[in-house]
């Protein structure tokens, strides 16, 4: 798990009906994603980031373990491919996976300002920042020139514990909201405008380089030091803005004690060719192939007519139980 990620709920006896039908598992819901893993083999697992999810609903399915029942149905999209996931709660009458999953997903969607760079947003009112929940304003810095244009635009910084906001004095709708989680570096550089504050963002927000001029130089260094300190603190424990109160916590007026089941040391970004991730995802893919669905064609390796596969998949890869790299060893 990454810094700032928190487990919100943990549900046992959940079946991954789409990809691992008949296998009992555990569904772990965090503030950033949902993780399912088999109770028999923890290595058999699935991680779905909320940013990939397009819709969550319920659907009547035929579970191998529970029969005809209502399950949670998730539609997702990643790298232009569409996927669907179905999770069934095997405990009779238990609908907690509905309330927890859907509730956390709604909280994620309604808190994007914590995690996304925003340009020209309605984030100010009469020069005052509309503070987010758990956001604290530390300082306001006037006389900050935004060097995005040749002549520059005079404005002000608002520094908080979550983001850096700049807005133009002449038009507060000309603004930028930059969460610290999107910053790669904060430094002072020489430019044609003299010494300026340069902030580089990461690739997730477009890889921008933002320049600001602040006079005098002592003031520039003081503000740069403050921003660098807040950036380092936030990187250690980011605030993603996703908060959800479980129904059981409200009823009992006590927080639920959830035992973490995911090791912080586990490398989740292993090479796809090593663990066969792309092959596994074929079970969840519902992407169109560009041809008529269900139209069969002859496969010489099998000697049979088979349905057209999604782009990027082959018959050989779908039949692999042990990936090539390990088989060669």
What's the pLDDT tens digit per position in 234-254? 999 999 999 998 765 544 555
The pLDDT value recorded for residue 187 is 95
Element (H, E) at 281: helix 277-281
Element (H, E) at 255: none
Token output for 30: 């965090």
Token output for 133: 């929940």
CB distance 204 to 116 below 8 Å:
no
Per domain, the residue ranges of the chain are: 1-111+240-269, 114-236, 272-329
Mean pLDDT of the chain: 84
Tell whether the model's pLDDT for residue 272 goes beyond 50. Answer: no
The pLDDT value recorded for residue 87 is 94
What pTM value is reported for the model?
0.76
Q: Is 55 exposed, middle or buried (0-12, 13-18, 19+ CB in 10 A)?
A: exposed
Lowest model confidence (mean pLDDT) among 110-119, 145-154, 281-290, 317-326: 317-326
CA dihedral 28, 34, 39, 41 (to 10 degrees): -130
Token output for 20: 């691992």
Tell whether the model's pLDDT for residue 298 goes beyond 90. Answer: no
Categorize the per-residue pLDDT at 310 as very low, low, confident or very high, splitting at 50, 70 and 90.
low
The pLDDT value recorded for residue 41 is 85
In tens, the pLDDT along 11-32 reads 999 999 998 989 999 999 999 9
- The 10 Å Cβ neighbour count of residue 209 is 11
CB distance 277 to 152 below 8 Å:
no
Categorize the per-residue pLDDT at 267 as very low, low, confident or very high, splitting at 50, 70 and 90.
very low
Q: With CA atoms as reference, report the closest residue to 310 among 84, 64, 43.
A: 84
CA 242 to chain centre: 11
Say what percent of the chain tops pLDDT 70. Answer: 82
Categorize the per-residue pLDDT at 278 as very low, low, confident or very high, splitting at 50, 70 and 90.
low
What is the distance between the alpha carbons of residues 243 and 160, in angstroms, rounded to a whole number?
19
- The domain 114-236 having CATH identifier 2.30.29.30: the answer here is yes
Domain 1-111+240-269 shares a fold with domain 114-236: yes
Which residue has better confidence, 1 or 137? Answer: 137
Tell whether the model's pLDDT for residue 262 goes beyond 60. Answer: no
Tell whether the model's pLDDT for residue 319 goes beyond 80. Answer: no
* Three-class secondary structure assignment of 95-135: CHHHHHHHHHHHHHHCCHHHCCCEECCCCEECCEECCCCCC
Residue 174: cis peptide before it, omega within 30 degrees of 0 = no
What is the distance between the alpha carbons of residues 160 and 228, in angstroms, rounded to a whole number?
12
Lowest model confidence (mean pLDDT) among 39-48, 117-126, 128-137: 39-48
Helices (H), 207-255: 217-236, 247-252
Token output for 207: 């890889």
In tens, the pLDDT along 139-197 reads 999 999 999 887 789 999 999 999 999 999 999 999 999 999 999 999 999 988 899 99
Q: Is 313 left (phi over 0), alpha (psi -120 to 50) or beta?
A: beta
CB distance 113 to 166 below 8 Å:
no
The pLDDT value recorded for residue 76 is 94
The pLDDT value recorded for residue 5 is 94
Tell whether the model's pLDDT for residue 58 goes beyond 70. Answer: yes
45's CB contacts (< 8 A; 6+ apart) are 35, 36, 37, 38
Which whole number is the average pLDDT over 124-152? 92
Lowest model confidence (mean pLDDT) among 36-50, 220-234, 250-264: 250-264
Token output for 64: 């191998």
- The domain 1-111+240-269 having CATH identifier 3.30.160.60: the answer here is no
């Amino acid at each position: 798990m990454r810094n700032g990620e928190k487990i919100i709920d943990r549900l046992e006896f959940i079946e991954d009906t789409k990809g691992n039908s008949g296998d009992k598992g555990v569904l772990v819901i965090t503030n950033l994603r949902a993780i399912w893993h088999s109770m028999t083999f923890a290595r058999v697992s699935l991680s779905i980031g909320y940013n990939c999810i397009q819709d969550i609903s319920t659907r009547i399915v035929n579970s191998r373990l529970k029969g005809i029942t209502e399950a949670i149905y998730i539609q997702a999209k990643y790298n232009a491919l569409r996927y669907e996931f179905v999770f069934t709660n095997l405990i009779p009458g238990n609908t907690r996976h509905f309330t927890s999953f859907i509730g956390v997903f709604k909280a994620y969607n309604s808190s994007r300002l914590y995690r996304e760079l925003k340009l020209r947003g309605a984030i100010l009112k009469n020069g005052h920042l509309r503070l987010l929940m758990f956001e604290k304003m530390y300082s306001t810095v006037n006389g900050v020139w935004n060097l995005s244009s040749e002549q520059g635009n005079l404005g002000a910084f608002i520094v908080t514990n979550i983001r850096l906001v700049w807005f133009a004095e002449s038009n507060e709708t000309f603004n930028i909201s930059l969460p610290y989680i999107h910053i790669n570096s904060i430094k002072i550089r020489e430019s044609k405008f003299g010494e300026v504050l340069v902030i580089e963002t990461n690739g997730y927000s477009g890889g921008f380089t933002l320049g600001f001029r602040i006079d005098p130089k002592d003031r520039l260094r003081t503000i740069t030091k403050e921003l660098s300190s807040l950036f380092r603190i936030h990187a250690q424990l980011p605030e993603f803005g996703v908060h959800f109160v479980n129904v059981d916590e409200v009823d009992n007026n006590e927080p639920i004690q959830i035992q973490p089941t995911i090791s912080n040391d586990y490398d989740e970004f292993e090479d796809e060719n090593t663990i066969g991730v792309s092959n596994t995802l074929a079970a969840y893919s519902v992407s169109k192939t560009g041809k008529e669905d269900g139209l069969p064609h002859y496969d010489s390796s099998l000697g049979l007519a088979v349905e057209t596969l999604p782009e990027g998949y082959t018959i050989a890869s779908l039949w692999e139980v042990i990936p090539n790299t390990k088989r060669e060893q």
